[in-house]
Amino acid sequence: MRRKWIAFGLAMMLALQPTVMFASDDESHLEELEEQKSEVESKESEADEKLSETQARVDEYITALEELDSQISEKETAIRELDAEIEENLALLEQTKQELEDARDNEAVWYQKLKLRMKAVYESGQINYLEILLQAGSMSDLFSKAEYTRDLAQYDQEILVNLGEAKEQVTAKEMEVTQQEAILEADRAKEEEQRQELQEVKDKKEKELKKLEEDKEALELYIQELEEQREELAGEIAETAARIEEARRKAEEEARRAAEEEARKQREAEEAERKRQEEERQQQQEEESEEEYQPEEEDSQYEEEDTGGDDDYEEEPYYEEPSGSVSLSWPLPGYYSLSCYYGNGHRGIDIPAPSGTAICASAGGTVITASYNGSYGNYVAIAHGNGYVTLYAHASALNCSAGDYVGAGQVIAYVGTTGYSTGNHLHFEVQIDGGLANPLSYVG
C-alpha cells in the first residue's frame, strides 16, 4: 500500500461523517487512526531517506560489479589469446626440434663420409696428387690421371664444406630451440600472472556481492516491518469504514421505510377522498335522472413489458494457448548437472561449466537481446515464435547481436560469471507468452 491510498481511504471516511453522527465511537476511532497515519507517514519519510541511501550504495555496487565484469571478460579474453599463442609456439617448437634432428642426421651423414674417406687415405698411404700425375705413361693417361686427381680433390672439398655447413645448421637450430623455449616459458609465466589477477578480481567481486546481499537483507527486513504496520493500520481503517457504512445503510433503510410508510398513508387518504367524491357524484346523478344509470365501460389497455432479449449478453473472454510449440535442445552440451533448479523464486535452471565453454541456441530463432544487465551480466534472449523465448545469462562474452537469426545448436555466447553471480555457470530460462516455465519440461 502507498501513503496516497491510506490518505484517500481516510478522506473518504471523513467525508461520510455528516451522515453518521450517531456513530460517535467510530468517529473517535477515526481520529486515533489519523494520528496513527501521521506516525506512519513520519516513519515512511525516514524509510524514504534510508531507501535513498541504500539505493545509492546499491548503484555504487552495481557500477563496481559492471567494472569488475568488464575486467573479468578482458582477462579471460587475454588468457584465451595466450592459450592460443602458447599452442602456436608449442607447435613451432616441435617443428624446430624436428628440424634440429634433421640437421643432426645430416651432420652425422657427412661426418660418416669423412671418416670413411680418412680411413681410405690411411689404408692407401699419404696421397700425393703430383706422384699420380708423374706416373702417367702417355699423354692420354696423363689427362685421365689429371681428371681423376681433380675429382678426388673436389670430393674431399665437398665433404669438408658440407660437414661445416651441417655443423653450422645444427648450432643455429639449437639456438632457435633455446629462444623458442624461453618465449614459451615467458608466455606461461604471463598466463599464470593473468590467472592470478583474474582470481583476485573474482574474489573482490564476491566480496562486493556479499556486501550487497547484507544491505539488501537489512533493507528487506525494514521494509517488511513497515509493510506490516501499514497492513495493520489498513485493516483497522477497513473495519471502521465497514462499520460506518453499515450504520449509514441502516439509517438510509430506516429513512426509506419511513418515507414509504408516509407515502402509503398519503395514497390511502387520496383513495378515500376519491371514493367519497365518486359516491357523491353517483348520488347526484341518481337524483337528477330517473333513467336507469348505465355506467360506461372503461377500456383497459395493456402494454406488454419488454423484458429484453439476449442481445446485450456478452460471452466471457477466453485465452487461447500458443498455436504451436518448439522443440528445445540442451544449451550446454557435455554439462548436464544442475546447481540450482527452477522454482522457489528462481526463474530458471543453473548449469555449472568451465569459463569459456560454448553456449548453444536451444532452437532456431531471432536474437531480440544481446546486452549487459546488472543482474544477468552478459546475456542473450532469443524469440522462437509461438510466444516462446529462451534466455542465456552470466556469459563471459557474446557471439551474436540483436536482430541476428541463429540456428539450433549455433554458438551464441561463452560461459562466465558476469552480473549477479559468484561462479562460472549458465543461467537458462524458458518464457511462454511473457510468463516463466520450467526449462526441464521443454529441453531434451
Burial of 391 (0-12, 13-18, 19+ CB in 10 A): buried
Domain ranges of the chain: 1-280, 349-441
For residue 244, what pLDDT is reported? Answer: 74
Q: Exposed, middle or buried: residue 104 (CB in 10 Å: 0-12, 13-18, 19+)?
A: middle
Phi–psi pair at 364, nearest 5 degrees: -70, 145
- Cell numbers for 133, please give them: 700425375
| Other Cβ atoms closer than 10 A to 138 | 8
Cα first-last separation, the chain? 44
Long-range own/partner contacts, residues 332-339 (CB < 8 A, 24 or more apart): 332/357, 332/359, 332/360, 332/415, 332/426, 332/428, 333/360, 339/423, 339/425
- At 326-349, the pLDDT tens digits run 789 999 999 999 999 999 889 999
pLDDT at residue 209 in the model: 81
User: Cell 496516497 maps to which residue?
Assistant: 4
* Beta strand pairing call for 405-406 and 377-385: unpaired
> Rounded distance, CA 152 to CA 206, Å?
81
pLDDT at 60: 78
Question: What contacts 439, CB < 8 A, 6 or more positions away?
Answer: 328, 342, 348, 349, 428, 429, 430
List b or e across 45-77, with b for residues whose CB sees 16 or more CB atoms inside 10 angstroms.
eebeeeeeebeeebeebbebbbebbebbbebbe
Weakly modelled stretches of the chain, pLDDT under 70: 1-27, 117-152, 285-325, 444
Instruction: Give the per-residue pLDDT at 308.
Output: 36
Return the bridge partners of 430, or none.
390, 437
349-441: CATH, from 2.102.10.10, 2.40.100.10, 2.170.190.11, 2.70.70.10:
2.70.70.10
* CA 439/CA 394 separation, integer angstroms: 17
| Closest among 152, 83, 50 to 356, alpha carbons compared | 83
Say how many residues make up the chain. Answer: 444
Question: How far is the CA of 234 from the CAs of 1, 9, 30, 260, in angstroms?
Answer: 9, 9, 12, 38
Q: What is the pLDDT of residue 144?
A: 65
pLDDT reported for residue 339: 95
Q: 351 has which bridge partners?
A: 426
Tell me what pLDDT residue 413 has.
98
State the Cα–Cα distance between residues 291 and 288, nearest whole angstrom: 9
Q: pLDDT of 102-116, one tens digit each?
A: 888 888 888 787 777
pTM value surpassing 0.75: no
